Amino acid sequence: MSYQPKPLPFNNELNGISPKTMEIHHDKLYVGYVNKRNEIEQKLETVSKEGVNGTYHEYGELKRSEIFAANAVVLHEYYFDILGGNGEAQGGELVEALTKQFGSLENWVNDMKAAGMTARGWVVLAYDFNTKKLHSL
């Protein structure tokens, strides 16, 4: 069964984000990832698994591409679901933790932006349960 794109959960009029930006993110990027995910999953149904290895094999390349497309779908959906507000930090435990670890909220924003400029795809704020630290990954 193929995955279907979800509509935007808001009316496309956000404070600080233009309708054109949201149109590109939803209608081109997100829908494109949904379509590519479906295409990859269809190819995975018929590709040979004979001779699979870690260096190169069509099955392995499809699986790596499947992970990338699936993550892009899920992260776009999460992104759309949390948009809203005025763009200002509201405070709370997360802002306190970011300020404590990074010295200021601005320092964390700069860290996240730098991570984004070097990433293939998305950057997420993650908590490492071993080190008990937040990371821009």
116 part of a folded domain: yes
Q: Are residues 37 and 73 in the same domain?
A: yes
Q: What is the pTM of this model?
A: 0.80
Residue pLDDT tens, the chain, 137 long? 799 999 998 887 777 788 899 999 999 999 999 999 999 999 999 999 999 999 999 999 999 999 999 999 999 999 998 887 766 777 899 999 999 999 999 999 999 999 999 987 789 999 999 999 999 99
Q: In which domain, by residue range, is 102 found?
A: 93-136
Which of 33, 110, 38 is CA-nearest to residue 79? 33
pLDDT (tens digit, 9 = 90+) per residue, 68-105? 999 999 999 999 988 877 667 778 999 999 999 999 99
CATH number at residue 42: 1.10.287
Q: Are residues 24 and 71 in the same domain?
A: yes
- 75 and 125 Cβ atoms separated by less than 8 Å: no
Distances (CA, A) of 64 to 37, 56, 86, 105: 11, 11, 37, 34
| Burial environment of residue 83 by CB neighbours within 10 A (0 to 12, 13 to 18, 19 or more) | middle
Q: How many domains are contained in the chain?
A: 2
Residues whose CB is less than 8 angstroms from the CB of residue 127 and which lie 6 or more positions away in sequence, other chains included? 133, 134, 135
Which of 121, 137, 125 is CA-nearest to residue 30? 121
2 part of a folded domain: no
123 part of a folded domain: yes
Radius of gyration in angstroms for the set of CA atoms belonging to the chain, rounded to a whole number: 19
Q: Are residues 71 and 108 in the same domain?
A: no
Report how far residue 104's alpha carbon sits from residue 110's, in angstroms, rounded to the nearest whole number: 10
Q: Are residues 57 and 29 in the same domain?
A: yes
